[in-house]
Chain A
Amino acid sequence: MLSRISQLGARLLRENRAVGNLASSTTSYYRGQLSRRFVPTKNILFSTATTSSDRDDGSQSKEKISVTFVNKDGTEQTISVPVGMSILEAAHENDIELEGACEGSLACSTCHVIVMDVNYYNKLEDPTDEENDMLDLAFGLTETSRLGCQVIAKPELDGMRLALPAATRNFAVDGFVPKPH
């Protein structure tokens, strides 16, 4: 058992390195390979969603989109998220390790996610000043960083991929120069 654990560990460690590079590189890196999940037929979904929500708010929850999380260790989880739900809530319901310590009150930045495809990033509403204030303090901030508690699922976001910042593995503590992994 123990050696199995360590094998697994070694693998996770390797994957971890990989995602470390991912998170620190610019968004253009993500673009090509990552939008393959985005299938045009979902646009139809979008229109149904709007009409149904026009008619009846309650039925909105029937619409779900699929969102993929790329964990710190490089593993992936794809979950389906009801339209209208925040990414943080959805992550919690699915045991994804996104912290969200202030429970969405914009007082922390532990729900930091990186939108891996800039096209998806552009589909999001602009962050508010308050979200930006917290993003200022997020570790490993990128051009397409957002706070998960502020990103609300909507049909256009179907197929979105979000990376959890691998930042906590980098010791950029004052005076300590992080070595490249």
Chain B
Amino acid sequence: MGRVRPLHHAARRLLLLFPRPRAFSSAAAAAPSREPLHVCVVGSGARRVLHGRQVLLWWIEQMLKGHEGAQVDIIDRLPTPFGLVRSGVAPDHPETKIVVNQFSRVAANDRCQFYGNVTLGRDVSLSELRKTYDVVVLAYGAESDRSLSIPGEDLRGIHSAREFVWWYNGHPDMCNLAPDLQSTDSAVVLGQGNVALDVARILLRCTSELAATDIADYALDALRGSTIKKVYLVGRRGPVQAACTAKELREILGLKNVHVFIKEADLVTLPADEEEIRNSRIKRRVYELLSKAAIAHKGKNNNGQKELHFVFFRRPTRFLPSEDGVTVGAVQLEKTCLKDDGVAGKQVAVGTGEFEDLKCGLVLKSIGYKSLPVEGLPFDKYRGIVPNLKGRVLSSESENATVEPGLYVVGWLKRGPTGIVATNLHCAEETVASILEDDKKGLFMGPSDSKKQGRRGLLEILEQKNIRFVPFDGWEKIDSKEKMAGELKNKPREKITTWNEILMASN
């Protein structure tokens, strides 16, 4: 054994150089030293945060390892890297944010630079980037919302969960949202996925617990003054089809001083449900958790506790105004039942024609994020993603589409804002593999007169347009100021939330 091990180590180290075994196929060896490969990543977000490691970082590490000559520049419209890790992941989930520390490690590498406060589509165009870089990777996520398209959606008091999440996380675009939490005792959350559970949890959790997190200060104040006592989580389908994961569900079911309401009738399963439970471990465990919670809370009287109601088999059909005519006063819900959709063997909700109104003064729609296209980018409007083949952007979603050379996509923009969390890493790995494969094929070795400028070119563009970008050390300054201010209040950081202040702090 002792003699064999050194070889193992050597072999593994080699493997590290080549992230995927495929690199060993006939075209084997590393590219001979030549011009650096100029790579630009748009969006510094974080696929697969749940798996603890930020995928973008992992991705860049793979890229740098897999190609000795790769030089990776990241641009982000925010001066602060990390996308949803900063403005999405709930403040009371600090373990998910461990990744933030890892960023510094990658950014310490000369071959990787961060340019914050640069927006694709406004400050630089896609065609400019493609002219400047050999490889452009779009990772700008999903920053818009699906809409319900039902009457009354514009009433005051109705927000998307994204807006609300950005607000409590101090995203500079939403720091002025000021949701009214003081004129009602009931909030309705439409949707039952993890994001829905996040916003419901923030509404219900003791503010003394929240105070120790990096939640935005103004949000904490607003939540302290909140009069909301009841939160309704509304789902079109049943407990077996709830889109959340057991971890998040367990967390909200375990909140202190919250009484959970689940109708026993909703827990009755049909053969098709049982089939779903058999086929999916997550569904089985989510269903079991809900059933247990229903029993545990049954018959207990809730003396003054806050209430969390799971409302199954209901879909929103319109929003009704309150007396003032401009604020939402109720959601009209239609009862649903499940039908086999005949195609994917999935059960879908269909309306029964029976309606009821649910009174509330705040509605948070958590029915999905949506990506936005930028000019010159093929975009599948129906699915809200960029058509791609293993991360290579395709010219259209039709069958005879061609590959857009040098253009790749990763993250929510590639797969849509859903999916099994566990597939996220594979999604990113797939895109890296495609790039390295294309590089081996020599696709980025154009004629010598068309050499890409890379970083130098980007800096020229930014200078010409007089765009003040925030480099990584600018973020570090913001970071240390936030941390210092946080220390005074016994929290991890005190987020700076307005555009002006952020830019000032970066100096």
Contact = CB atoms under 8 A, between A and B. Distances in A.
A3 B28 CA distance: 8
B426 A102 contact: no
B250 interface: yes
A93 interface: no
Contact of A169 (B21, B50, B96): B21
B15 interface: yes
A136 B52 contact: no
Interface string A71-101: 1010101100000000000000001010101
B423 A77 contact: no
Contacts of A125: none
B146 interface: no
Which DSSP category, helix, strand, loop or mixed, fits chain B's interface? helix
A12 B11 contact: yes
A108 B51 contact: yes
Contacts of A129: 246, 250
A103 B99 CA distance: 11
Nearest to B418: A174
B285 A102 contact: no
Interface in B1-52: 1, 5, 8-9, 11-12, 14-15, 18, 20-26, 28-30, 50-52
Contacts of A75: 8, 11-12
B94 to A, nearest CB: 9
Contacts, number: 130
A133 B246 contact: yes
A13 interface: yes
Contact of B21 (A12, A77, A139): A12
Most chain B CB neighbours (cut-off 10 Å) among A106, A133, A172:
A133
A44 interface: no
B1 A139 contact: no
A162 B263 CA distance: 43
A5 B29 contact: yes
A9 B21 contact: yes
Contact of B8 (A77, A136, A176): A77
Interface string B381-394: 00000000010000
B21 A13 contact: yes
Given A97-B12, A173-B423, A173-B426, A102 B21 contact: no
A172 B423 contact: yes
A130 interface: yes
B281 interface: yes
B282 interface: yes
Contacts of A110: 51-53
Given A12-B15, A107-B96, A138 B285 contact: no
Contacts of A177: none
A108 B52 contact: yes
B452 to A, nearest CB: 27
Contacts of B420: 137, 174
A165 B29 CA distance: 27
A137 B422 contact: yes
5 contacts: A97-B12, A106-B95, A107-B52, A130-B250, A137-B50
Question: Which 3 pairs between the two chains have the least Cβ-Cβ distance?
Answer: A9-B24, A108-B52, A101-B52
Interface of B: 1, 5, 8-9, 11-12, 14-15, 18, 20-26, 28-30, 50-53, 93, 95-96, 98-99, 245-247, 250, 281-282, 285, 390, 415-416, 419-423, 425-427, 429-430
Given A6-B28, A9-B23, A105-B95, 19 more contacts: A3-B28, A5-B29, A9-B18, A12-B15, A75-B12, A95-B9, A99-B53, A101-B52, A102-B95, A103-B98, A108-B53, A129-B246, A129-B250, A136-B245, A136-B285, A137-B50, A137-B282, A139-B425, A169-B20
